[in-house]
């Protein structure tokens, strides 16, 4: 057993100690330093309690737990927490009971923070230096050394050490929680999920069972401006009914004031009954977390909370950036409506759900918007589009999905009863107020019913666009529903367009030449270069099928340049063969003629081939002459300056104005084959052809007839005063070699 403690001026006086359970409850109530005395001598317990019981260390009192054996100590240590110091007797049931208990405390229980002071009345039982180091023993004293002053000194030193260790451990645990919380938050997607995560993590970090919510000042998708109030986007269970509500609409007496104070100060606010955490971000977006309990923090806790809020702010920046990228990807910045990609996403979901059975998609195209945009400016045009979007949203936003899928084209997806073309067009009967002006608009609509549609979202949108184009062609200001026949027609055109492009690239296109003759003598005056297409299978595609496709696709510009150069090369070859007065007529399309580089292309082709301009004739259609008279007059003047002549092809079919015709610097009129076919034996049906001949003579223009197929037509035309012709009566369109052979054979038969 331990020897009695020696008496001196600091002798400990042994008094009765209160019950251990009472001490534990008192400690919890006062926030005291908890000291556990483990000794098999009751007098040591009493003396230690008497010596230290009335003292305060670091402004906190001491409370005591008592164990009178190592076994009893083990039971208590398994239950009790937050013990700062253990005053442990080395020798109790047996001589190493104390050291075995130290091993149990450190290794089995894993209590690394508690400070252990070994005491013994038998100096010979002092632990080895290795044991003191390995078991993290704070101090070792013989009981004879522990006067009241020295005991207080040892305990004070140990408490200070314990406080520092606890602070470091708490900081470490707090940082680990912050790191884990930040990692989880970074993995969230969307502002709402992020806010919910912040709320969950902060209540866990603070260890409080409080309720709260996160609020933000959101951007209004309809106008891209911030609203004038905060919206609750995440809540704990108590506030769940407030989800997505505006803060000003809630019956919360103190919360709005505290939140607005934090946002105004741009810092967290800690009040007695509430806490508001402010999260800074580069976007300066108001984002705050409200807790309905006051949080009392020491300096370390406050620093940890600052670190947490800083990490949340970084995460908030990432979420806001991702949200903006998401908006850029799926929403139209001008109107706030979904864009084409968003529509395709929603349309795909509709097609794969039961709602497909009663859904319809429409495309709404504003008529003549480009002209309005050009005339009044792009800023006015943007305001006009925004006004249209707003009206559509007000009428359909609650029941349908809206999107802007083109510069002036909107999409509407929803129930067939709602996506009603008559109801949509009715919205355009009232003028739109734009920049203090009333603007009257009309719209054209293409629609598709999805109930029996078996394609995907992309195909459905394409087919709706087909219906829109059909409506724009046939009935501006009206609408068309997509039909399968439309789809077949457009797909055939697309296939033909791709085939034409491939044929051009692989040199499947070629020229033939139809001779033009003087009907009086049968002498060849020249030829018209005509484009032909023979497929790989040897089948000929009629020009009236592929020329419109080439014009529609824009491929006609490249093809036209190739035709021009090929015809000029043939003209030069014929001149080298001795046909020095031979003239080459070449057709020019509207797309070629209006192309800004047309004159440059013509000049360079003449230069590169060395073809004489005075033997080159460009044929333009009468409809081209009517399309843009001013541009035509200017371009014709430049063409004539090069020495090239011009004829008007298919004259009489375009209902041209004689006043326009007089202004055009052209050389020849070509009578369309339809009027030549009207020429009958002993009849008056050829009067139009006769009238064209007389008009040409009056204007000082040459006249040539096309499609002459018999002697009667040729003779009648000559009687009218027309002496030039081309047609099967003289020669079919000929390949290059056949043309050469035809010319070598001599003059064609003259009309009798």
pLDDT of 283 reads 65
Identify the CA nearest to 661 among candidates 651, 674, 672.
Answer: 651
C-alpha R_g of the chain: 49
Q: Which residue reads 């309720």 in tokens?
A: 211
pLDDT band, very low/low/confident/very high, at 125 (cuts 50, 70, 90)? low
Residue 741's SS3 state is helix
Whether the pLDDT of residue 102 is over 70: the answer is yes
Mean pLDDT, residues 193-203 taken together: 72
Identify the CA nearest to 407 among candidates 460, 359, 371, 457.
Answer: 371
User: Quick one: tokens of 365?
Assistant: 């195209």
User: Quick one: tokens of 487?
Assistant: 């789809």
> Are domains 20-170 and 188-330 of this chain identical in fold?
no
- What class has domain 188-330? alpha beta
φ, ψ of residue 37 to 5 degrees: the values are -105, 120
How far apart, in whole angstroms, are the C-alpha atoms of residue 169 and residue 83? Answer: 15
More confident residue, 141 or 708: 708
Whether the pLDDT of residue 556 is over 50: the answer is yes
Whether the pLDDT of residue 130 is over 70: the answer is no
Q: How high is the mean pLDDT of the chain? A: 82
Identify the CA nearest to 516 among candidates 530, 533, 496, 505.
Answer: 530
Whether the pLDDT of residue 449 is over 50: the answer is yes
Contact present, 219 and 225 (Cβ < 8 Å): yes
Whether the pLDDT of residue 744 is over 50: the answer is yes
How far apart, in whole angstroms, are the C-alpha atoms of residue 574 and residue 568? Answer: 10
pLDDT band, very low/low/confident/very high, at 223 (cuts 50, 70, 90)? very low
Residue 59's SS3 state is coil
234 contact partners, CB below 8 Å, separation of at least 6: 192, 195, 196, 198, 199, 213, 214, 243
How far apart, in whole angstroms, are the C-alpha atoms of residue 586 and residue 620? Answer: 9
Whether the pLDDT of residue 157 is over 60: the answer is yes
Whether the pLDDT of residue 252 is over 80: the answer is no
Tell me which range, 115-119, 148-152, 199-203, 531-535, is most confidently predicted by mean pLDDT.
531-535
Domain boundaries, the chain: 20-170, 188-330, 340-482, 495-666+721-741
The proportion of the chain whose per-residue pLDDT surpasses 70, expressed as a percent, equals 81
Tell me the fold of 495-666+721-741. Answer: TIM Barrel (3.20.20)
Residue 671's SS3 state is strand
Whether the pLDDT of residue 442 is over 60: the answer is yes
Identify the CA nearest to 55 among candidates 201, 156, 129, 142.
Answer: 156
> Model confidence over 371-387: pLDDT tens digits?
888 878 889 999 999 99
Q: Which residue reads 């000559």 in tokens?
A: 718
Whether the pLDDT of residue 46 is over 80: the answer is yes
The strand pairing partners of 509, in sequence order, are 533
φ, ψ of residue 116 to 5 degrees: the values are -115, 125
In order of 102, 117, 199, 601, the CA distances from 89 in angstroms are 11, 9, 48, 109
User: Quick one: tokens of 65?
Assistant: 């737990």
Mean pLDDT, residues 536-543 taken together: 87
Other Cβ atoms closer than 10 A to 304: 21
Q: Let me know the angle formed at the C-alpha of 368 by 363 and 373, rounded to the nearest 5 degrees.
A: 105
pLDDT band, very low/low/confident/very high, at 419 (cuts 50, 70, 90)? very high
88 contact partners, CB below 8 Å, separation of at least 6: 38, 39, 73, 98, 101, 102, 116, 117, 118, 119
pLDDT band, very low/low/confident/very high, at 123 (cuts 50, 70, 90)? low
User: Quick one: tokens of 508?
Assistant: 């499947």
Whether the pLDDT of residue 557 is over 60: the answer is yes
Whether the pLDDT of residue 256 is over 60: the answer is yes
pLDDT band, very low/low/confident/very high, at 602 (cuts 50, 70, 90)? very high
In this structure, the dihedral spanned by the alpha carbons of residues 23, 24, 25 and 27, taken in order and rounded to 10 degrees, is 80
Whether the pLDDT of residue 22 is over 90: the answer is no
Mean pLDDT, residues 283-297 taken together: 74
- Burial class (CB within 10 angstroms; exposed 0-12, middle 13-18, buried 19+) of 85: buried
In order of 102, 136, 634, the CA distances from 112 in angstroms are 11, 8, 97
- Burial class (CB within 10 angstroms; exposed 0-12, middle 13-18, buried 19+) of 68: middle
Q: Report the range of poorest mean pLDDT among 224-228, 534-538, 637-641, 727-731.
A: 224-228
Tell me which range, 23-27, 383-387, 648-652, is most confidently predicted by mean pLDDT.
383-387
More confident residue, 321 or 122: 321
Mean pLDDT, residues 177-204 taken together: 63
pLDDT of 169 reads 65
pLDDT of 533 reads 93
Q: Report the range of poorest mean pLDDT among 185-189, 198-202, 713-717.
A: 185-189
More confident residue, 233 or 711: 711
In order of 528, 582, 738, the CA distances from 750 in angstroms are 19, 18, 20
- Print burial letters for 136-145: b (CB count within 10 Å at least 16), e (below 16): ebbbbbbbee
- Burial class (CB within 10 angstroms; exposed 0-12, middle 13-18, buried 19+) of 567: buried
418 contact partners, CB below 8 Å, separation of at least 6: 396, 399, 400
pLDDT band, very low/low/confident/very high, at 340 (cuts 50, 70, 90)? very high
151 contact partners, CB below 8 Å, separation of at least 6: 12, 48, 51, 52
pLDDT band, very low/low/confident/very high, at 326 (cuts 50, 70, 90)? confident
pLDDT of 495 reads 86
Whether the pLDDT of residue 178 is over 80: the answer is no
Mean pLDDT, residues 712-722 taken together: 93
Q: Report the range of poorest mean pLDDT among 40-54, 304-318, 426-440.
A: 304-318
Question: Contacts for 628-634 with beta carbons within 8 Å, 24 or more apart?
Answer: 628/594, 629/660, 629/663, 631/594, 632/593, 632/664, 633/663, 633/664, 633/665
Mean pLDDT, residues 615-634 taken together: 81
Mean pLDDT, residues 613-634 taken together: 82
Tell me which range, 132-146, 165-179, 182-196, 434-448, is most confidently predicted by mean pLDDT.
434-448
pLDDT of 36 reads 94
- Could you name the CATH architecture of 20-170? 3-Layer(aba) Sandwich (3.40)
Helices (H), 475-584: 484-505, 543-553, 556-576
Mean pLDDT, residues 455-477 taken together: 88
User: Quick one: tokens of 243?
Assistant: 């989800």
pLDDT band, very low/low/confident/very high, at 730 (cuts 50, 70, 90)? very high
Mean pLDDT, residues 395-417 taken together: 93
> Model confidence over 660-704: pLDDT tens digits?
677 788 999 999 998 998 887 655 566 889 999 999 998 899 999
pLDDT band, very low/low/confident/very high, at 410 (cuts 50, 70, 90)? very high
Tell me the fold of 340-482. Answer: Alpha-Beta Plaits (3.30.70)
User: Quick one: tokens of 330?
Assistant: 């799926």
Q: Which residue reads 């670091």 in tokens?
A: 58
φ, ψ of residue 334 to 5 degrees: the values are -75, -45
Contact present, 667 and 645 (Cβ < 8 Å): yes
Identify the CA nearest to 125 among candidates 151, 154, 96.
Answer: 96
Helical (H) or strand (E) element with 669: strand 668-671
Largest CA-CA distance found in the chain, in angstroms, rounded: 160
How far apart, in whole angstroms, are the C-alpha atoms of residue 162 and residue 33? Answer: 10
Contact present, 464 and 446 (Cβ < 8 Å): yes
User: Quick one: tokens of 53?
Assistant: 């019981």
Residue 303's SS3 state is helix
How far apart, in whole angstroms, are the C-alpha atoms of residue 22 and residue 30? Answer: 12
Mean pLDDT, residues 132-136 taken together: 65
pLDDT of 402 reads 95
The proportion of the chain whose per-residue pLDDT surpasses 90, expressed as a percent, equals 37
Q: Report the range of poorest mean pLDDT among 82-96, 120-134, 227-241, 726-740.
A: 120-134
Whether the pLDDT of residue 360 is over 50: the answer is yes
Mean pLDDT, residues 116-129 taken together: 66
More confident residue, 89 or 655: 89
Identify the CA nearest to 11 among candidates 50, 45, 40.
Answer: 50
Mean pLDDT, residues 284-312 taken together: 72
pLDDT band, very low/low/confident/very high, at 225 (cuts 50, 70, 90)? very low
């Amino acid at each position: 057993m331990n020897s009695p403690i020696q008496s001196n001026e600091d002798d400990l006086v042994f008094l009765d100690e209160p019950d251990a359970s009472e001490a534990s409850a008192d400690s919890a109530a006062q926030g005291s330093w908890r000291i556990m005395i483990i000794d098999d001598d009751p007098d040591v317990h009493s003396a230690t309690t008497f010596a230290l019981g009335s003292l305060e260390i670091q402004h906190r009192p001491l409370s005591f737990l008592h164990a009178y054996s190592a076994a009893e100590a083990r039971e208590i240590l398994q239950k009790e927490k937050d013990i700062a110091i253990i005053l442990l007797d080395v020798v109790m049931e047996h001589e190493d009971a104390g050291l075995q208990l130290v091993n149990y405390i450190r290794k089995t229980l894993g209590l690394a923070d508690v400070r252990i002071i070994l005491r013994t009345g038998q100096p010979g039982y002092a632990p080895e230096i290795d044991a003191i180091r390995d078991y993290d023993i704070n101090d070792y004293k013989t009981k004879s050394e522990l006067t009241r002053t020295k005991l207080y000194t040892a305990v004070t030193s140990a408490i200070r050490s314990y406080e520092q260790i606890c602070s470091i451990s708490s900081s470490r645990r707090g940082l680990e929680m912050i790191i884990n919380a930040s990692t989880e938050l970074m993995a969230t997607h969307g502002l709402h999920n992020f806010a919910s995560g912040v709320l969950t993590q902060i209540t866990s970090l603070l260890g409080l069972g409080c309720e709260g919510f996160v609020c933000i000042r959101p951007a209004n998708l309809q106008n891209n401006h911030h609203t004038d109030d905060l919206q609750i986007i995440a809540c704990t269970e108590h506030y769940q009914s407030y989800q997505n509500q505006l803060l000003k609409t809630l019956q919360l007496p103190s919360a709005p004031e505290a939140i607005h104070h934090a946002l105004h100060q741009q810092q967290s606010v800690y009040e007695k009954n509430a806490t508001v955490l402010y999260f800074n971000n580069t976007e300066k977006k108001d984002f705050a977390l409200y807790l309905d309990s006051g949080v009392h923090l020491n300096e370390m806790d406050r620093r940890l909370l600052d670190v947490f809020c800083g990490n949340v702010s970084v995460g908030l920046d990432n979420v806001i950036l991702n949200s903006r990228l998401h908006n850029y990807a799926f929403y139209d910045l001008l109107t706030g409506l979904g864009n084409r990609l968003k529509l395709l996403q929603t349309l795909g979901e509709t097609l794969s759900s039961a709602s497909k059975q009663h859904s319809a998609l429409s495309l709404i195209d504003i008529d003549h918007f480009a002209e309005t945009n050009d005339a009044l400016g792009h800023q006015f045009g943007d305001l006009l589009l925004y006004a249209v979007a707003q009206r559509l949203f007000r009428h359909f936003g609650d029941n349908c999905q809206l999107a802007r899928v083109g510069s002036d084209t909107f999409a509407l997806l929803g129930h067939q009863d709602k996506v009603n073309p008559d109801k949509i067009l009715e919205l355009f009967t009232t003028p739109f107020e734009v920049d203090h002006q009333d603007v009257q608009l009309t719209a054209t609509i293409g629609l598709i019913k999805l109930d029996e549609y078996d394609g995907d979202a992309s195909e459905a949108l394409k087919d709706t666009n087909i219906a829109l184009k059909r409506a724009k062609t046939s009935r501006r200001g009206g609408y068309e529903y997509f039909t399968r026949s439309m789809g077949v027609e457009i797909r055939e055109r697309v296939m033909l367009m791709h085939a034409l492009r491939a044929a051009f690239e692989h040199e499947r296109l070629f020229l033939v030449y139809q001779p033009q003759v003087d009907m009086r003598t049968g002498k060849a005056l020249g030829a018209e270069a005509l484009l032909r297409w023979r497929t790989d299978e040897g089948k000929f595609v009629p020009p009236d099928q592929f020329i419109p496709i080439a014009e529609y696709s824009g491929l006609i510009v490249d093809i036209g340049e190739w035709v021009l150069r090929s015809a000029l090369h043939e003209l030069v070859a014929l001149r080298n063969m001795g046909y020095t007065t031979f003239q080459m007529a070449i057709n020019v399309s509207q797309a070629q003629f209006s192309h800004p580089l047309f004159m440059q292309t013509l000049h360079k082709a003449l230069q590169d081939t060395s073809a004489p301009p005075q033997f080159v004739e460009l044929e333009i259609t009468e409809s081209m002459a009517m399309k843009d008279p001013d541009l035509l007059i200017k371009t014709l003047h430049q063409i004539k300056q090069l020495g090239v002549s011009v004829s008007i092809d298919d004259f009489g079919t375009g209902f041209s104005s004689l006043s326009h015709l007089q202004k055009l610097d052209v050389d020849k009129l070509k009578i369309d084959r339809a009027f030549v076919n009207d020429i009958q034996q002993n009849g008056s049906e050829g009067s139009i052809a006769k009238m064209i001949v007389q008009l040409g003579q009056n204007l000082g223009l040459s006249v040539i007839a096309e499609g002459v197929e018999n002697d009667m037509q040729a003779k009648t035309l000559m009687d009218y005063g027309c002496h030039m012709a081309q047609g099967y009566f003289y020669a079919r369109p000929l390949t290059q070699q056949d043309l050469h052979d035809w010319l070598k054979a001599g003059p064609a038969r003259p009309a009798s």
